[in-house]
Amino acid sequence: MINVKIERPSADIIAGFRNLLRYDSVTCALSDCMGRFNAMTSDMKPLVEGIRFVGTAVTVRTLASDLAAPFKAIDVCEPGDVVVIDTHGSVSTAFWGENMTMSALNRGVLAAVIDGACRDVEELRKLKFPVICKGVVPNVGSVSGYGDVNVPIQCAGVAVSPGDIVVADGNGVVVVPKAEAAPILEAAQRLLQTEHVLQEKIKAGATIGELVNSMRSSRRRSPTNTEPWGNAECVSPAGR
């Protein structure tokens, strides 16, 4: 199944998420605001260090080692999209390489996220195209005409639907469901803007345990407290 048209988040929503990239560990904050979920597994590695991006998911579900669906996905991409490929965890065949990268750059694609392998890594590094994947292998698949584009998939343990927002930084990759993007963006903005309060307390000598106890007491006293760093659903003090 090839779905050429997808519903994308508004330009304002995408701009809001991209504005978060001025902070360091954006994916950590977003995961915190999604109940500590929606992060891809830790075996997903960038080909080069320093990858940071926000884009809209164009999804691919491959069949065996067929490259037809990834090829078609590039054709239907718009500028700012991220190709997200579900290879069912295959690391014995490459699903991305130099020619696909050059084609993707022609379409304005921001990155490729592959729960499988790629190849032509020397060329990809020269092109400075962000690829996050599980491995590198010289073998490449064939083009037989099978696979799906812009259907719900999973990638590295996370459900991804066409139009979801994909965010990557040095910590990894998170996926923000399109339908929940606005409230998650607002929560992340509050968390990142006020996180310095927590950090200043630690710099002044407080411990994580003391601050956790203080936050719990604050919530009991004020059930309507909306400070992100005081919200159990949108912070992970021990990890931030």
For residue range 40-88, what is the model confidence (pLDDT) as tens digits?
Answer: 999 999 999 999 999 999 999 999 999 999 999 999 999 999 999 999 9
pLDDT of residue 200: 85
Kindly write down the DSSP assignment for every residue of 158-222, as one continuous string: EEE-TT-EEEEETTEEEEE-GGGHHHHHHHHHHHHHHHHHHHHHHHTT--HHHHHHHHHHHHHH-
Domains of the chain by start residue, with CATH: 11-182 (3.50.30.40), 194-239 (no CATH)
**Tens-digit pLDDT profile for residues 27-46:** 999 999 999 999 999 999 99
